[in-house]
Amino acid sequence: MTPKTIHFVSLGCPKNRVDTEVMLGVAQQNEFKLVRDPDEAEVIVINTCGFIGEAKKESIDTIFELAELKKHGACKKLVVAGCLSQRYPDELAEQMPEVDHFLGSSDMLRLGDVLRGEEKRMLVGNPADWVIRASDPRVITDSRVSAYLKIAEGCNRTCSFCVIPQLRGKQRSRSADDIVREAEQLIASGVKELNLVSQDTVAYGRDLDKSERSSLAAMVRRVADLPGANWVRLFYLYPETLDEELIELIANHPRVVPYVDMPLQHAADAMLKRMRRGHGKDRQKRVVERLRNAVPALTFRTAFIVGHPGETESEFKELCDFVEWAEFEHVGVFRYSDEESCGSFALDEKVTPLVASNRNRRLMAIQRKIARKKNQARVGQELEVLVEGVSEEHEFVVKGRHAGQAPGIDGEVFLSDGDAKPGEFVRVVVSQASDYDLVGDVVTGDSERSIVLPKRRVALKVVSSGAGSHK
C-alpha cells in the first residue's frame, strides 16, 4: 500500500519548531510519508504563531494560501495547530470552514487521532495540559546536526506586552532526568549541538516537586557532561540575579558555549516599569557587566521592543545609548504590537506605527555598526565551526556556524575553500566579514595553517538581524 503523504509548515519560535517535530514524529508513527511539496500532500498541518500582529497575519495568510490546495491539489485534510488556534479557537472555526481540524498549543499528540480519522473538528484543549517528554515521538528537521531541547513550557511572568502565559499556561519544568534522556536520544541520532530553550529558562526547576527539583546549572551540567554533547547553548535567560554556578559553567565548561540569549526589552526605567519587567536599568547594566567580566569570550544576544505605549523620544534615546554602551554581538528589534488581551493594550499615549518603524530603523542602524566592527575584527582569526551543509545562498559553498552564532538567527560562516562534511567540527580562518556573516577557509594540517586566497569569493549580503524573542 502506498503511504499517505503529509506536509508541515512551522511558523514562529524555536519552541514551536519542537512541537512541529513532535507532530512529525506522530505522523511517522502513523505511517505517513513527509513530502516537501505541499501540492503532493494529502494532509497539510500548519503550526501557527499567535503572539503579535505580524505573526498572526503570517499564520492566517499561510492558512488561506494552503487551503487552496484542497481545491486544486492532493490535499484532503487541512489541520491548523499551535498558538493561533489556542488564542482564537471559536473565531477561526467560524471564519475558516476550509480547515478540517484545530489543535491548540498542547494538543500535538492528538494529531494521531486526527490522522486516523477518529477525532472531531475542534480539539483545542487546556494550554497547560502537556509538556514534551523523552518518550514522545519526534523527528529532527533542518540540518539534523543541531536541535532544540525544550526544558520547560509556559511562563509565570506578567510582562505587560506578552500573551505567552495565556497561550502556553503557567511554568511547567521537565524533570532533569527526562531532559537528559531526550538529550541522549538526540545525540544518538547524530545531533552535535543542543540548544536548551523555554519561555523563561532562568526559572527552570522552581515549579518542580522537591523530589524532582534541580537547579538550572545542575541540569545544564548533566547535559553538557554527556558524551557527544559538543555544544550546549542557553536561550531566553531573564535578566535577574544569575546563579554563580551557571555563570561558571558558561565561562569554563568546555561544551557549554559562551553564549547568552537574554531579551532585555528596553533600558529606560520608566519603560521597564510600564512593561512590568520587575527591574530597572541599573540591574540590567550590572547583569551585562557581570557576564562580560566573568565570561571574556561571551557572545551576548538580546532583544528590544520599540514603540511601546508611552515611549518618549528621550526614553528611546536612553535605549540607543544603552546599546552603544553594551556593544551586544546580536540584537533583535521588534515594533510593539498592541494585543487586546495584554496589559499594555489599556495604556494611553500610543506610539504611531510610523514613529515605531523609524525607531526600529535607527536602533538597528546603531547595532549594525557594532556587529560589523565585531565581525571585521574576526578577519584573520581561527574559529571552530560546526558544518551544517550546502548553503542555500551560495551555490557550491558549504555553510556552518561558530559558537557565537545560534542556528537560524545569528548569521553563518561560509566555507569558500577546503573540504568539510555536515556534522563535522573544522578549524576555519576568517577571510571576509559582513555585518552578520563570515567567510573562511578550512585549516588543513595540525601544525600549520593553509591560508590561501579563497577560490570562490562569496558575495555577502547585508541583512537585518532582527530575529529573536519578543518575550
User: Which pLDDT belongs to residue 448?
Assistant: 42
Report pLDDT for 466: 42
Range name among 227-241, 310-324, 449-463 with the lowest pLDDT average: 449-463
Is the pLDDT higher at 464 or at 437?
437
**Residue range 3-13: mean pLDDT, rounded:** 93
| CA 141 – CA 118 distance, rounded (Å) | 27
Query: What pLDDT, on the 0 to 100 scale, is given for residue 469?
Result: 44
Instruction: Give the DSSP H/E element, type plus range, for residue 165.
Output: helix 164-168
Out of 61-70, 257-266, 419-428, 440-449, which region has the weakest mean confidence (pLDDT)? 440-449
Angle formed at CA 266 by CA 261 and CA 268, multiple of 5 degrees: 140
The set of residues, in sequence order, having a beta carbon less than 8 Å from that of 260 and lying 6+ positions away, is 234, 237, 250, 291, 295, 298, 299, 300, 301
Q: What is the pLDDT of residues 160-197, one digit of tens each?
A: 999 888 889 899 999 999 999 999 999 999 999 999 99
CA distance 142 to 393: 15
SS (H, E, C) 75-119: CCEEEEEEHHHHHCHHHHHHHCCCCCEEECCCCHHHHHHHHCCCC
Cβ neighbourhood burial of 308 (10 Å; 0-12, 13-18, 19+): buried
Give the percent of the chain with pLDDT over 90: 79
How many Å apart are CA 466 and CA 333, to the nearest integer? 5
- Please give the residue that has the higher pLDDT: either 391 or 343: 343
Distance separating alpha carbons of residues 323 and 328, to the nearest angstrom: 7
Burial of 44 per CB tally in 10 Å (0-12, 13-18, 19+): buried
- Helix 244-252 × helix 216-224 angle, to 10°: 20
Lowest mean pLDDT among 105-109, 170-174, 306-310, 413-417: 413-417
pLDDT score of 161: 94
pLDDT confidence band for 142 (50 / 70 / 90):
confident
What stretch of H or E contains 48?
Answer: strand 43-48
The confidence score (pLDDT) of residue 458 equals 52
Radius of gyration of the chain (CA): 22
Q: List pLDDT tens digits, range 315-325.
A: 999 999 999 99
Over the chain, what is the mean pLDDT? 90
Average pLDDT, integer, range 84-95: 94
**Domains of the chain and CATH, by start:** 4-123 (3.40.50.12160), 146-376 (3.80.30.20), 377-471 (2.40.50.140)
- Taking CB atoms within 8 Å and a gap of at least 24, the contacts of 418-421 are 418/442, 418/443, 418/444, 418/450, 420/385, 420/387, 421/387
pLDDT for residue 462 is more than 60: no
Examine the pLDDT at 451 and tell me if it is beyond 50: no
- The reported pLDDT for the residue numbered 422 is 86
